[in-house]
């Protein structure tokens, strides 16, 4: 929970967690232990799996199958975002996913990735990854500020290589006009490198590195920005796009992001390759077409409540079979 979001005080559900050591492999946290699955499956009606690649997940899946407990497997990756894709891994992934009664995917790109594994189409349920879009919409409307000179471009996320923020700064340098600004909210190991890039391109006075922000701080930044950019070269989804659109912004989204297929026809969205010139062209187009905040963003239809209702339907189908 490195974004430091809090569970609602009104929540009536309970939760438990296992404390297991993990090993950091790049961005991936591997939990080598498989202990604890027997205890967590006690008295369980349905297992909803958020992953498959850790020994604990695998042990839990096969133990649940043996105990005839229905399994709903979540899968968000796309073909392009697979960390591991060798023939042995593909075979293991197929065997594990074959145990699930249903597989819930995040968007058409992850559905295609599952179909490419040879899994039955009727077992796949395609949904949209949700955020609390109504909250972001309401917050943005109540925290708007008077328009400032220039166009405010915004990036929110980790400052790591695959987020491609260096290319975003290069793109901004190509199209900056007058009082335009690029806001970068987030932190990470390439921060100093990005600051050096901005300085070398002569735009350091127009690029603001804001650091890590909590939910309300981010929402305040959304409310005063114009165009959001997610330039990642590899992104399973990109929930910050949901947040930005809900706040009424335009969104320039890399075609390597899982969310791209889902939002490409929404007002104010521009899907682009990840190189600096393509990003620059999309950013310039957004600025040119800017006519104020989007009043009724289409993303507002895709609430956590709607997502939960769909999951309940999947659970009901599991019980019926």
283: its two tokens: 């950013």
CA angle 71, 4, 24 (to 5 degrees): 65
Strands 269-272 and 124-127: unpaired
DSSP-derived letter for residue 9 is T
- Local confidence pLDDT in tens for the 321 residues of the chain: 445 556 677 878 777 777 778 887 776 777 787 788 888 898 899 999 988 888 888 999 999 999 999 999 998 877 666 565 678 888 888 899 999 999 999 888 888 888 887 888 888 999 888 999 999 999 999 999 888 899 999 999 999 999 999 999 999 999 999 999 999 999 999 999 999 999 999 999 999 999 999 889 999 999 999 999 999 999 989 999 999 999 999 999 999 998 999 999 999 999 999 999 999 999 999 999 999 999 999 999 999 999 999 999 988 888 776
Q: Give the SS3 label for residue 23.
A: strand
Q: What are phi and psi of 62, to 5 degrees?
A: -70, -30
Residues 269, 230: Cα–Cα separation, whole Å = 11
The pTM of this model reads 0.87
DSSP-derived letter for residue 28 is E
Residues 197, 246: Cα–Cα separation, whole Å = 31
250 neighbors 227 (Cβ within 8 angstroms): yes
Q: What is the 3-state secondary structure (H, E, C) of 170-237?
A: HHHHHHCCCCCEEEEEECCCCHHHHHHHHHHCCCHHHEEEEECCCHHHHHHHHHCCCEEEECCCCECC
286 neighbors 225 (Cβ within 8 angstroms): no
Q: Give the SS3 label for residue 30.
A: strand
For residue 75, CA distances in Å to 23, 59, 83, 264 come to 22, 17, 13, 21
């Amino acid at each position: 929970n490195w974004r430091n979001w809090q569970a609602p005080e009104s929540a009536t559900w309970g939760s438990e967690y296992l404390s297991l050591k993990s090993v950091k492999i790049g961005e991936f946290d591997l939990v080598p232990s498989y202990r604890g699955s027997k205890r967590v499956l006690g008295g369980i009606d349905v297992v909803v799996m958020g992953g498959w690649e850790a020994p604990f997940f695998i042990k839990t899946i096969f133990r649940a199958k043996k105990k005839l407990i229905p399994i709903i497997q979540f899968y968000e990756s796309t073909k392009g975002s697979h960390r591991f894709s060798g023939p042995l891994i593909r075979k293991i992934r197929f065997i594990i996913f074959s145990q699930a009664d249903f597989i819930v995917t995040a968007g058409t790109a992850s559905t295609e990735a599952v179909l490419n594994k040879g899994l039955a189409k009727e077992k796949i349920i395609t949904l949209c990854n949700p955020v609390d879009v109504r909250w972001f919409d309401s917050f943005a409307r109540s925290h708007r500020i008077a328009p400032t000179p220039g166009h405010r471009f915004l990036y929110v996320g980790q400052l790591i290589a695959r987020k491609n923020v260096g290319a975003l700064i290069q793109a901004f340098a190509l199209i900056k006009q007058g009082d335009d600004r690029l806001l970068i909210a987030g932190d990470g190991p390439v921060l100093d490198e990005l600051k050096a890039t901005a300085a070398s391109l002569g735009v350091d006075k127009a690029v603001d590195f804001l650091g890590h922000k909590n939910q309300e701080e981010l929402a305040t930044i959304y409310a005063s920005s114009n165009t959001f950019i997610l330039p990642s070269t590899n992104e399973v989804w990109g929930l910050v796009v949901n947040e930005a659109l809900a706040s009424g912004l335009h969104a320039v989204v890399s075609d390597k992001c899982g969310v791209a297929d889902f939002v490409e026809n929404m007002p104010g969205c521009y899907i682009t390759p990840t190189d600096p010139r393509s990003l620059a062209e999309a950013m310039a187009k957004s600025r040119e077409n800017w006519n104020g905040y989007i009043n009724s963003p289409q993303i507002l239809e895709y609430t956590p409540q709607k997502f939960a209702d769909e999951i309940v339907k999947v659970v009901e189908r599991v019980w019926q079979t």
